[in-house]
Structure 1
């Protein structure tokens, strides 16, 4: 009887290897051969699932965004808009090893996307979805005197900047959360 192969799991195994390499050495050092070695598989297997490095990178980026979404979807239905906003933004901050790895990868993708339009489109779609969710929550909260779209864009930019500060050890995780909470207080209080 032929063995059933979980193709999604194999693609995720390869994407995880790519993310470890990108975090350790940067995307410019990532190749199909390096990913195969990191994952402990043949280069042929990598090529079976991904024709190009860009295709593999786009999948890995999508996987990071899916994981952030899955973690933030764990919020309770009875959560307030403020709690939902804070929960999502905390999932984006590099507050543990998993999120630090994801942040390293996203930063590498951002640099790579500056010259690769196919990667940039995935980042744009993801950021637009997050801004839309945040703006919807800001509208639902009834926060007075703010433009929800601009405030959502500002919150994402804040978290991006705080993430860089934490990754470069200029801020502690606790200081980043305190800064986020003070900005949320400005919007919601």
Structure 2
């Protein structure tokens, strides 16, 4: 009887392997052979799951976003007031930053993808979509916090959201290269949120 293969599970296992390779050595470390070895599958299995390396990388990009989203949601759920918009914003911002080993790996992969997105149109579109979605979420939370009186009146939620996206990008890079520590990054993040408060 032929063995039944769960293709989606295999795709996720391969994506996790590629994610680890990129986190450890950048995009150049993520060869199909290394991905197959790390995932414990044959090269043929990788090629059956992903017709091209581009398809694989786009899937890994989505895998990364799902990982970050799940981790941020866990942070929000564990907060003392998870339904509060300022709490949601603060935990999302902190969850994006590379403040622990898991988030450092995610940020290294994100940075590798960001560099590649500058020369790869398909990956560039995914990166732009991710930034737009993040900015829309931040704008929604800023607007709600301002309407509830938690943030200053008169803030432009879209401008604040763009600023917060830019700040998290900059802090992430500076954390990865050692210019900031997790503690100093939290000070910067807290100061930015305090500046928005009513």
Task: Choose 6-15 or 100-109, whichever is displaced more.
Answer: 6-15
Q: What is the CA-CA distance between 1:2 and the residue it aligns to?
A: 5.1
Matched, 1:110 2:114: yes
Matched, 1:167 2:172: no
- RMSD between aligned alpha carbons? 1.7
Q: How many angstroms apart in 1 are the aligned matches of 2:7 and 2:177?
A: 36
What's 1:59 paired with? Answer: 59
Q: What is the CA-CA distance between 1:19 and the residue it aligns to?
A: 1.4
What's 2:8 paired with? Answer: 8
TM-score (norm 1): 0.92
Change (3 A) 1:20 1:2: same
Paired residues, number: 189
What's 1:68 paired with? Answer: 68
Q: How many angstroms apart in 2 are the aligned matches of 1:62 and 1:37?
A: 22
Aligned mate of 1:130, from 113, 131, 134: 134
The correspondence of residues 1-189 of structure 1 with structure 2, limited to 5 A, is 3-74=3-74, 75-76=76-77, 79-142=83-146, 143=151, 144-189=153-198
* Mapped contact 1:82–1:188 kept (Cα < 8 A): no
**Which ranges of structure 2 fall in alignment gaps of 5 or more residues?**
none
Q: What is the CA-CA distance between 1:131 and the residue it aligns to?
A: 0.7
Q: What is the CA-CA distance between 1:117 and the residue it aligns to?
A: 0.6
Q: What is the CA-CA distance between 1:90 and the residue it aligns to?
A: 1.2
Equivalent residue of 1:56, what SS? helix
Q: Deviations over 1:121-173 (max 9, x none)?
A: 11111111111111011111113232101111111111111111111111111
**Which ranges of structure 1 fall in alignment gaps of 5 or more residues?**
none
Equivalent residue of 2:98, what SS? coil
Equivalent residue of 2:119, what SS? coil
Q: How many angstroms apart in 2 are the aligned matches of 1:3 and 1:43?
A: 18
Q: Deviations over 1:50-99 (max 9, x none)?
A: 11111111111111111222233343585221111111111111112111
Q: How many angstroms apart in 1 are the aligned matches of 2:183 and 2:82?
A: 26
TM-score (norm 2): 0.88
* Mapped contact 2:97–2:103 kept (Cα < 8 A): yes
